[in-house]
Amino acid sequence: MVSFVQFSYELSLKHESEYFLSRPIYAHINSDAMRHNLERVRELVPGSKVWSVVKANAYGHGLASAFEGLKTTDGFALLDLAEAKLLRDMGWQGPILLLEGLFSQEDIFLVSDLHCDCVVHHIDQVDWLEALSEAKHGASSHLPKIYLKMNTGMNRLGFRPNEYKEIYHRLHASGYGISHMTHFANADYVDRSPSVDEQAEIFHQAIEGFEGDRSLANSAAVLWHHHMFFSDWVRPGIMLYGASPSGKYEDIEHAKLQAVMSLNSKIIGIQHLDAHESVGYGSRYKTDVPIRIGIVACGYADGYPRHAPDGTPVWIAGPNGLADGKVCRMAGQVSMDMITVDITDMPHVDVGTDVQLWGNFLPVDAVAQSAGTIGYELLCALAPRVPRTG
């Protein structure tokens, strides 16, 4: 018999990372899938360079994993200077675009040190950049490259077309190299105004005669409108991670994208319920007939949507593993650390059976649709306590 002291000593010899995996939930990040999705972008827009958008910690996938999967991109686009520094520390020497530009005048010094390109979308940023140029005495080789943003109907960030010419000339006179940028409001909707065509026409009319690259297309525009315009640089985000800009997984089947994140766990308990019994907080789910419930180690503290209703799909492994599995349906309120799933039709399921909450067998968009949200939110909301592997 092994003594408690000996058992404790043997545990102490295990690598620390093994403890992180003691609870069975984990997210597997497939860098090969990310590389595949980047190549699909290039196939859809063969004449364009690619800004790979890795904001929000690469949509919840982890910046290091995204760097590994997307290192053949032409540039990375993000929001935070801290993330830009991480990319530089990982060895990235190519372009980095700050999608919301400078948040304060003091940001300029780190932007210069990190050699970032900046989106410019409001007048304070223009003033700060003019002051920088004056301080450098017009030495353009030391100035950041500018992506001047035009508001063509999104009405979020950017200069209206009637302001754009003056701002362009101010920055150009200060020695900045300027590219032109806008963002589509309705690239993932049909028959909504302003349309992609309307915004693109406004944009091209306003920059007529100006030098500089153009950047127009997000994931939705790349997927569904790439034949309507030319963009020197495209800015795909969610499609790089294998999810749909529209939130409908069937909308991207033609693109042959691959899921990058698979959120996996296991069954940790089984309950047999008689007719007219209930399960979970609030007794929301009540049985009509006897059923079998599987308890899965995943809850809202892991980032799973607490508002997910009964019937939300969950992939349960078959006798030969996940690839042999099928969709079962959630039954009962999501709790902090667990969800409950009706496994009546899967008699082989027992404690330890593998489960996928979303991923290569169950699209994240299918789960999101059932929960009344979008795949972006589920991916970005994955909790720090969930280990990432891959």
The domain spanning residue 380 has which CATH number?
2.40.37.10
Query: Which of 246, 276, 296 lies at the terminal end of a domain, its last residue?
Result: 246
Give the number of other CB atoms < 10 A from CB of residue 372.
12
For 98-110, how does the pLDDT look when each residue is reduced to its tens digit (9 = 90+)? Answer: 999 999 999 999 9
Are residue 179 and residue 265 in the same domain, yes or no?
no
Query: Which of 214, 246, 278 lies at the terminal end of a domain, its last residue?
Result: 246
182/148 Cα distance (integer angstroms): 8
Q: Is residue 22 domain-resident?
A: no
Would you say residue 112 has pLDDT above 90?
yes
253/55 Cα distance (integer angstroms): 25
For 317-348, how does the pLDDT look when each residue is reduced to its tens digit (9 = 90+)? Answer: 999 999 999 999 999 999 999 999 999 999 99
**3-class secondary structure, 318:** strand
Predicted pLDDT of residue 3? 55
Q: How many domains does the chain have?
A: 2
Query: Which of 202, 220, 246 lies at the terminal end of a domain, its last residue?
Result: 246
pLDDT band at 138 (very low <50, low <70, confident <90, very high): low
299/24 Cα distance (integer angstroms): 12
Q: Is residue 19 domain-resident?
A: no
State yes or no: cis peptide before 194, omega within 30 of 0.
yes
Question: Are the beta carbons of 232 and 214 closer than 8 angstroms?
Answer: yes
- Mean of pLDDT values over 118-144: 89
Q: Is residue 11 domain-resident?
A: no
223/65 Cα distance (integer angstroms): 24
314 membership: H or E segment, kind and range: strand 313-318
* Amino acid code (one letter) for 180: H
Percent share of the chain, pLDDT over 90: 89
Cα separation of the two ends of the chain: 37
For 195-232, how does the pLDDT look when each residue is reduced to its tens digit (9 = 90+)? Answer: 999 999 999 999 999 999 999 999 999 999 988 889 99
For 380-390, how does the pLDDT look when each residue is reduced to its tens digit (9 = 90+)? Answer: 999 999 999 98
Predicted pLDDT of residue 142? 77
pLDDT band at 13 (very low <50, low <70, confident <90, very high): very low
pLDDT band at 1 (very low <50, low <70, confident <90, very high): low
Tokens representing residue 7 in the block = 């058992």
Are residue 190 and residue 242 in the same domain, yes or no?
yes
Which residues have a catalytic role annotated?
55, 281
Are residue 65 and residue 136 in the same domain, yes or no?
yes
pLDDT band at 15 (very low <50, low <70, confident <90, very high): very low
For 285-327, how does the pLDDT look when each residue is reduced to its tens digit (9 = 90+)? Answer: 999 999 999 999 999 999 999 999 999 999 999 999 999 999 9
Q: Is residue 127 domain-resident?
A: yes
Predicted pLDDT of residue 11? 47
Tokens representing residue 347 in the block = 């008699």
Are residue 336 and residue 231 in the same domain, yes or no?
no
Answer with the residue of higher pLDDT: 388 or 10: 388
Would you say residue 234 has pLDDT above 60?
yes
**Half-sphere exposure (CA, 13 Å, Cβ side) for 22?**
6
Question: Are the beta carbons of 60 and 261 closer than 8 angstroms?
Answer: yes
Predicted pLDDT of residue 24? 98
Would you say residue 92 has pLDDT above 70?
yes
Name beta bridge partners: 51.
Answer: 75
Are residue 114 and residue 232 in the same domain, yes or no?
yes
Are residue 287 and residue 384 in the same domain, yes or no?
yes
Q: What's the Cα-to-Cα distance from 260 to each of 27, 32, 319, 334, rounded to whole Å?
A: 10, 8, 25, 24
Q: Is residue 79 domain-resident?
A: yes
| Residue 156 among known ligand-binding residues | yes
* Amino acid code (one letter) for 279: V
Give me the domain span that covers residue 164: 31-246
The pLDDT mean for the chain works out to 94
Are residue 200 and residue 298 in the same domain, yes or no?
no
Q: Is residue 23 domain-resident?
A: no
Would you say residue 52 has pLDDT above 90?
yes
Q: Is residue 253 domain-resident?
A: no
Are residue 214 and residue 73 in the same domain, yes or no?
yes
Are residue 85 and residue 211 in the same domain, yes or no?
yes
Are residue 71 and residue 113 in the same domain, yes or no?
yes
Q: Is residue 288 domain-resident?
A: yes
